[in-house]
Amino acid sequence: MSDASDSAPNGAGLALPISDLEARIEGFLTEHLARKSPETVGTYRRALREFTRFVASEHGRFRFRKADMERYKTYLKSERELSDVSISTYLTSVRRLCQYLVDVGLLADNPARGVKGNSRPASHSRSVLTMQEVETLLYALPFDSVLALRDRAIVYLMLGGGLSEIELVRADREDVRLTPSGHVLDVQGKGHTVKDRQVPLDDRVAAALLAYLAARGDVPSDAPLLASHGHRSAGERLNTRSVRTRIRRTMEDAGLRRPGLTPHSLTHTAALLWLNAGMSLDEVRARMRHGTLDTTMISLRQQGLLHKSPEELAVLLRDAG
């Protein structure tokens, strides 16, 4: 394996054979990210897999210099045609890998530090559903099979419970509990390692979920809350990609097709529904499990979706501060 002598102060850089690079990446993932969640490690692994492919395509020309990093950024933009947000994520992964190589003595300094990702959009790129679109989607939901009941439950959990895809796929049957104040779902959010949050389920959300669970019949308490119902994978846990695919198809079947509208839009729409229903900002923020909703509220107001006057909005934001 290459050693620190390959890194020279005169700009010669560091040449790592692909096998050595892969070994160093594995060390970074297992040592530097030891306390991160499996999902976070998976994100870094996927991003660095793309980096490894690029380095291999360079046929020895890549030597961990700033110019090499700039060339990788151009590759992500021009050849891979990634979004600005994705490019920033990929470059962050490489930047932290390089810092790891500095820490273990292979690099004198971090060549990726000065290579910034493209500017992220000022407003959230995901759109939200209008009230009419919400009604259209809910009206179009079928309930004539266990598969339809499952997809219907997913829509209600995201749209009426503010749950994300990762929270849904991590949930088990035993995480649904009836409390004196109603049904709740224990969830493990992104970046968390335990189910340390409780999400209250409104009556309609709980009814949709319980209808699906009843159609499944008796299942073990540790069975996945959302299961596959295919012939070959029956009973297996859904993954986030499966959830997105099913919701995207459900939205398309309802005729909801426009730029910016994604399956995750359902989760963002939950905040809009609660705010328009008169729920306090503190309660909405707690139910969304977010640090702040100020930007979200201003964006909703600008789009004409938040039915509150500028004066009411100002009071809410002032009270939140």
In the beta sheet, which residues pair with residue 179? 182
In the block, which residue shows the tokens 């501060």?
Answer: 321
pLDDT tens digits for 25-64? 999 999 888 777 777 788 889 889 999 999 999 988 999 9
> Average pLDDT over the chain, rounded to whole?
82
- Lowest average pLDDT, out of 221-230, 292-301, 307-316, goes to 307-316
CA torsion 304→309→312→316, rounded to 10°? 10
Residues contacting residue 125 through CB under 8 Å, at least 6 positions apart = 85, 260
Domains contained in the chain, number: 2
Q: Do 193 and 305 fall into the same domain?
A: yes
For residues 92-97, average pLDDT: 91
Q: What is the pLDDT of residue 301?
A: 59
Q: Do 53 and 149 fall into the same domain?
A: no
pLDDT at 319 exceeding the cut of 60 = no
Confidence of residue 8 (pLDDT cuts 50, 70, 90): very low
CA distance 185 to 206: 10
Q: What is the pLDDT of residue 277?
A: 80
Q: Do 310 and 162 fall into the same domain?
A: yes
Percentage with pLDDT > 90 across the chain: 40
Structure tokens at 308: 């509150």
Q: Do 29 and 89 fall into the same domain?
A: yes
Q: Do 88 and 136 fall into the same domain?
A: no
Q: Do 18 and 72 fall into the same domain?
A: yes
For residues 208-236, average pLDDT: 91
pLDDT at 18 exceeding the cut of 70 = yes
Q: Do 263 and 144 fall into the same domain?
A: yes
Q: Do 142 and 198 fall into the same domain?
A: yes
Tell me, yes or no, whether 119 lies in a domain.
no
Q: Do 74 and 208 fall into the same domain?
A: no
Q: Do 42 and 189 fall into the same domain?
A: no
Confidence of residue 310 (pLDDT cuts 50, 70, 90): very low
Q: Do 146 and 77 fall into the same domain?
A: no
Tell me, yes or no, whether 126 lies in a domain.
no
CATH of the domain at 159: 1.10.443.10
Confidence of residue 201 (pLDDT cuts 50, 70, 90): very high
| Burial label, 93 (beta-carbon count in 10 A; 0-12, 13-18, 19+) | buried
Q: Do 99 and 143 fall into the same domain?
A: no
pLDDT tens digits for 129-182? 888 888 899 988 988 899 999 999 999 999 989 998 989 999 999 999 999 999
Q: Which domain holds residue 96?
A: 4-103
pTM over the 0.85 mark: no
